[in-house]
Chains A and B, each alone.
Chain A
Amino acid sequence: MHKKALNKDILKEFTKSITRFLSIMLMIALGSFVFVGLFVTGPTMRNTLLTYADKNNLEDLIVTSPLGLAMEDEQILNSVPGVEILDYSYRTDLMQRGSDTIVRAESLGKLPGYEILEGRLPAGADELALDGKMRGKGYKIGDHISFNPDKVQGSYALKNYDFVIVGFVNSPEYLMPTDKGSSSIGDGVVNCFGVIAKENFIMKNVSLARLTFSDVQGLNSYSTEYKDKMKAHSNAVEQALANRPEIRLEQYRKEGTADISTAQGKINDAEQQLSDAKKELDDARVELDKGWAVYWNLQAQNTSGQEVLASKARLGDYAKLAEAKVQLADGQKQLADAQKKIDASRTELDAKTTELQDGLDKIQQGMSQINAGLAEIEASLPQLTTGLSQVETGLQQTDAGLASLADSITLIDSQLADVNKSLAANAQNTQLLQTKAELEQKRADLVAQKTALEAKKASLQVQRTDLQNKQAEAVSKKKELQAQYTALVAQRQTTLDSSSLLTDARDKLNNSQQTLDKQRTDFNAKKADYEAALQSMHQKLLNGEADYEQGRSAYLDKLPAAQQEIEQGKTDLNKAKNDLARLKVPDYTINDRYKDKGFYQYIQNSESMDLLSLFFSVFFFLIALLVSLTTMMRMVDEQRLQIGTLKALGYSNRDVIKKYLAYGSLASLIGSLIGIVAGQKILMPVIFNAYSSNFLFKQGIPLLSPIFSVIAVLISLLCTGFVAFLTTRESLKDNVAELLRPKAPKSGNRILLERFTPLWRRLSFNYKVTARNIFRYKKRMLMTILGVAGCTALIFMGFGIRDSVGSLFVKQYGEILRYDSIMIFDENAAKEDLQALSDGLGSDSRIAKVYPARFEQGVVQIPGKLNQTVAVVVPEDAAAFQTINQLRERKSQKPITLRDGAVISEKIAMLLGLGVGDTLEFKDNDGTFKTIEIAGITENYAGHYFYMSPSYYEKIFGKTYHTNSDYISLQDHSAESVSSFSKSMLEKDVVLRMVNTNVASDLIGDLTKSLNIVVLVIVLASSLLAIVVLYNLTNINVSERIRELSTIKVLGFYPREVTAYVYRETMILTTIGIFIGYIFGLLLHSFIVTTMAPPNVLLDPAVKPASYILAAAFTFAFSFVVMLITHRRLNRIDMVEALKAVE
């Protein structure tokens, strides 16, 4: 029976409702895309890893020790049971000559197999196969590469340090190209590995042993069986080697001590020789100095030989000279004294002679004076006599004059008397009067003359007296002079007598002078002898000086070399001593594959991927399926009438069901197939690459397990075809007549909200309608809310993850750790070196501040996880330290002060599930276990830290607290500045290690990069899903209520009003969905964030407000897009058609 018409109808159905078909298909495709894409990524990652590991013979177990494996160790390992391959290998870190590239050289052996990228493995002693990653750095096959031949632990590691590159290889032991481990040379970072022939190594001990076990061959390394068996094997090896560390430590201690004493002896000898030579020189110097002192003393004018003699200590051979100097000085003195005496006598004599002569001269002079005086007096006497006679004459004349005058006067007086008589008569007689006047005049004149003459007579009398006196005087003087003269003559006689005595004395004096002169000649001869001796002494000294100089320069020439040798010896010795002091229990590391960093990290990544897929894709798929389910149910409902008609025509139920079953199944089949293929080909590689970006793997080897594809197809079919089947069957239960009547639209009902009358009344009419409608279609309401909530939650989670990872860097290195570098120095170095280092830091202008602390490393064992390395930090000044290394509680942001007990970082507390007040055990640097009490848990995002106060450190470690590191804050925080600073610090011998925060941040950078891609995928897929879900649900809503919508169109609602009428509901549901989405999103996010982060990274579970806004904005935007689509569709509704009486 051909049911052509029916088949045709089925075919037509696809084309008629192509959008619905496509939308179901798309949803299923999206769901299975994400489901399959994510679910296969984890297994693919593991498969890629395990395939690679197995193909390249990655060992099952590797045994290493920092001091290598001794012969006894080999013996022990050789007897471990169940071993398939046991391969010993050498390993040493080499520094490339002329560059700071550090190559970890390993000997080629049976294990591991290397993946040859180009060329071949080394065969000859000068051949090297280099790390494949170096191809990108300009290294080529045929290049020569040389290394610094540095001694390692006192001996050379290789016979040959010059190589030719013969190949490029990858190693399964180095899965992370950028992380090759750390080294004790150079800047401490191993750049790459290299493989060289085993014969090239001349190391005393092999470095490591690699083992594979026969009972795990062919087992999947991820299987429990493998893990269990390996656990047993590694325990067995551990047991076998358990006693070795102690034994070896003892052995090394002994060897070290012996070496030290030998070295010490050598140094002592060299030092003795040097000091002997030095002493000889010094003695010569002293001798010379002594000679010089004596010489200069002898030479000096103002030092007496006596003084020289007095300082006998410095005299030595020079006594004779000194004595001579003394004698000479004495002779000189005697001569001088004698001369002085003679000179004194002579002076006296001369003085006396002069005195005599002077006396004579004076006498002579006196005599002549006296003679002159006499002559003078003789001459004056006659003069006086003459004078006297003259005066006598004068007097006589005067007396005559006076007499004449007296006569004249008398005459006149008579005349006058006459006159007066006459006058008396004739008083008036003029003539008489005149005569009388003339007479009176004459008389006056005569009186005057008489007076003058009397005066003259008086003076002459005086003169006469005077002259008479003088005459008497001269006579007496003459007598006196004559007496004097006589005395002088006598005196002269006496003087002439003494002069002859003086002449005698002079003769005597001249005689003694002659004697003295002779003595002086003798003395001078002696003196010349002395000076010659002194001269020869000077010469001798000069010769001595030249000899000394020669010896000294010879000594100096030899000195640096000798000293250096000694210094070197000392340094070596110190180092050896330090090494010995620091010699630890040799750590035997027994690592299975899961303790290999790269291997473990990759497995971790794959497992976190599993988790993500579980949450994300299941959630995602669920929404897609729910919506498809609704769509299918709606479709069957819509076609009730047709179903009824077919049934009425007599078609069997099976025939009727066939159409819907086919429709749904085909949509989901095509959809899920597209999704499966796209998921595996597009999504999986994207996620795979994101997670593998730090690893060797460029392309995943898909694990061709069809299980997820089958699950996807089955679930899809179940939710579309099967639902169609069920719904149709349900419909078919109604009788035909019922089917032919349109299904009565859902009748209206009072809703709960209406009971709250005040609220209900306040709602506008439109909102009342909307509210009713929302509750009218409860199923769709739930679906919309759930769909929107799911999409919002996923988008929110996506942005949230980005926030958590993105804020990590800012918080860790912007807020919590603010220093630029930690400089770890050798605390056992010489005091002056440490002082020099600290002085250097003090004067370094690049440094802003230094915070001394103690920095140690410890290991915490975490059950079921990789051991975690912990930094134990003990700041000297906790308060200052707080400014560059914040200790604070994350939630309350309250600072934590260091007191009793340790403050530990949050992630380690989380891993161990410990809280404040609990105790924690960890292994310190020396391999001993210490237990600390947790006093606080501090916010920290990368790495693990224990902070404690010095006193608590001393209590826990039982050691005195010393700083061994400086936390340094630089002026310039840029990466270049920090890097150049740390490079310059590493050049100092005392500086052991520099830890830069910008290097540590790389870890976070990688994580961010890979997560960003995953987040992008999540957001994209979720967005698409949001659009499809909203579109589909709105579509159903519209088609279900097409008559209602047409009616209001006929009533004259404008298109905008029509859209608002129906879409207001969606908007409200979307809003509700967003808020519920936040809740889901937060849960999802916190779960993902806690499980996905690597064990040493804490992702901040806080989500930024921007992400809330973004998630809502995205969802609203999609809702808006769907609204626009709906708007267009509503616009195109043909009201007439829709309102026509039902077919």
Chain B
Amino acid sequence: MPFIQMVECYKRYKMGNTIIVANNGINFEIEKGEFVVIVGPSGAGKSTVLNILGGMDTCNEGQVLIDGKDIAKYTDRELTTYRRLDIGFVFQFYNLVPNLTALENVELSAQIVPNAKNAQSVLESVGLGDRLDNFPAQLSGGEQQRVAIARALAKNPKMLLADEPTGALDYKTGKAILKLLQNTCQDTGTTVIVITHNQAITPIANRVIEINDARVRKMQINEHPVSIDVIEW
């Protein structure tokens, strides 16, 4: 049985008088420890999928089986617990708490999980050992995103979800971030799902899910994913 399985998932938003269908019967599965890239153009419904997987949103119809449990049937409270214990989230705009230092931002998430990693060592592992006491405003975008990844990793999550993690970063920094994610997946065995609109980076994934117009158009498994270092775009 796959680790993650989305079955006939529908999500509709009501915007005034019109109904926008964000997910129109999404189906896919992901195995444990995979590095997954979900790709598609803006507004295709990728973020909705990720939000549903991350327990931030719920689908109107269908099943979302995570490790055999259908989180689509979870209550708000269960979803929160699910987010708290199983999910690490990385946003495009980092969403660090500006009033907390890098270390404190990581501690913020570490302190709510029982078997969290040491915040400082996580930050060191993402290469920020010398910026522990800097506030987000004192960090560059890449550094901020590293803090965000460290914050997600400190919780020791079952899966790491990243929504356009490089969207606000320059090419080089973006690449470094993707590298960090890929290494994390390889080194810790954490399932990593990355959303991007950049087709170019699909080769680095174990599994590529293409979403277009609210549906999964294509799902492809790379037997031999390449390192990010060899890819250019």
Contact = CB atoms under 8 A, between A and B. Distances in A.
B87 interface: yes
A1043 B91 CA distance: 12
Contacts of B89: 1050-1051
Contacts of B151: 1051
A1135 B56 contact: yes
Contacts of A1053: 80, 84, 112
Contact of B135 (A749, A1048, A1057): A749
B101 A1050 contact: no
A1136 B57 contact: yes
B93 interface: yes
Interface in A759-773: 765, 768-769, 772-773
B81 interface: yes
Interface in A774-803: 776
Contact of B99 (A744, A776, A1052, A1055): A776
B220 to A, nearest CB: 28
Contacts of A864: none
A1141 B99 contact: no
Given A748-B135, A1044-B99, A1051-B112, 16 more contacts: A747-B98, A747-B137, A748-B97, A1044-B97, A1047-B95, A1047-B97, A1050-B54, A1050-B95, A1051-B89, A1051-B155, A1052-B81, A1052-B82, A1052-B109, A1054-B81, A1055-B80, A1136-B51
A745 interface: yes
A758 to B, nearest CB: 18
Contacts of B54: 1050
B104 A1136 contact: no
Contacts, number: 88
A765 B57 contact: no
B142 interface: no
A1051 B83 contact: yes
Contacts of B155: 1051-1052
A1139 interface: yes
A1034 to B, nearest CB: 17
B135 A747 contact: yes
A773 B108 CA distance: 14
B95 A1043 contact: yes
B14 to A, nearest CB: 13
Indicate the size class of the contact surface on chain A.
20 to 34
A1051 B153 CA distance: 11
Contacts of A151: none
A894 B162 CA distance: 77
Which 5 pairs across A and B sit closest by C-beta, in order of nearness? A1052-B84, A747-B137, A748-B99, A748-B135, A1052-B83
A1050 B83 contact: yes
Interface string B170-201: 00000000000000000000000000000000
A312 interface: no
9 contacts: A744-B137, A746-B98, A748-B135, A765-B107, A765-B108, A772-B99, A1044-B95, A1044-B99, A1054-B80
B111 interface: yes
Give the interface centre of A1052, A1053, A1139 by most chain B CB atoms within 10 Å: A1052
B111 A765 contact: yes
Nearest to B93: A1141
B120 interface: no
A1142 B93 CA distance: 9
Contacts of B82: 1052
A287 B77 CA distance: 130
B132 interface: no
Interface in A1006-1062: 1043-1044, 1046-1055, 1057
Contacts of B107: 765
Contacts of B111: 765
Nearest to A773: B99
Contacts of A1055: 80
B27 interface: no
B169 interface: no
A377 to B, nearest CB: 182
Indicate the size class of the contact surface on chain B.
35 or more
A674 to B, nearest CB: 33
Contacts of B21: none
Contacts of A776: 99
Contact of B136 (A748, A1051, A1054): A748
Nearest to B94: A1047
Nearest to B99: A748
A124 to B, nearest CB: 87
Contacts of A746: 98-99
A660 to B, nearest CB: 26
A493 B6 CA distance: 203
Contact of A769 (B83, B99, B167): B99
A1054 B77 contact: yes
A1121 B135 CA distance: 34
Nearest to A1135: B56
Contacts of A1142: 93
Contacts of B85: 1052
B92 interface: yes
A1136 B136 contact: no
A776 B93 CA distance: 21
Contact of B137 (A748, A1046, A1057, A1139): A748
A1048 B100 CA distance: 13
Interface in B89-138: 89, 91-93, 95-101, 104, 107-109, 111-113, 135-138
Contacts of B101: 748
B16 to A, nearest CB: 13
A1050 B56 contact: yes
A814 B108 CA distance: 61
A531 B113 CA distance: 149
B80 A769 contact: no
Contacts of A1047: 91, 95-97
Nearest to B161: A1050
Contacts of B84: 1051-1054
B77 A1139 contact: no
A1139 B95 CA distance: 8
Contacts of A768: 104
Nearest to B52: A1136
A769 B97 CA distance: 10
B132 to A, nearest CB: 13
Contacts of A749: 135
B80 A1052 contact: yes
Nearest to A1057: B112
A939 B49 CA distance: 79
A1046 B87 CA distance: 15
A1043 B95 CA distance: 7
A773 B107 CA distance: 16
Contacts of A1052: 80-85, 87, 109, 112-113, 155
Give the interface centre of B97, B151, B155 by most chain A CB atoms within 10 Å: B97
A342 to B, nearest CB: 160
Given A748-B99, A1135-B56, A1051 B135 contact: no
A765 to B, nearest CB: 5
A776 B82 CA distance: 32
Interface string A22-62: 00000000000000000000000000000000000000000
Contacts of B137: 744, 747-748
A132 B99 CA distance: 73
B56 A1136 contact: yes
Given A1048-B108, A1050-B89, A1054-B77, A745 B98 contact: yes
A1037 to B, nearest CB: 12
B45 to A, nearest CB: 13
Nearest to B164: A1141
Contact of B104 (A769, A1046, A1049, A1051): A769
Interface in A1053-1092: 1053-1055, 1057
Give the interface centre of A745, A773, A1139 by most chain B CB atoms within 10 Å: A1139
Contact of B98 (A748, A765, A1135): A748
Interface in B54-68: 54, 56-57
A1021 B82 CA distance: 46
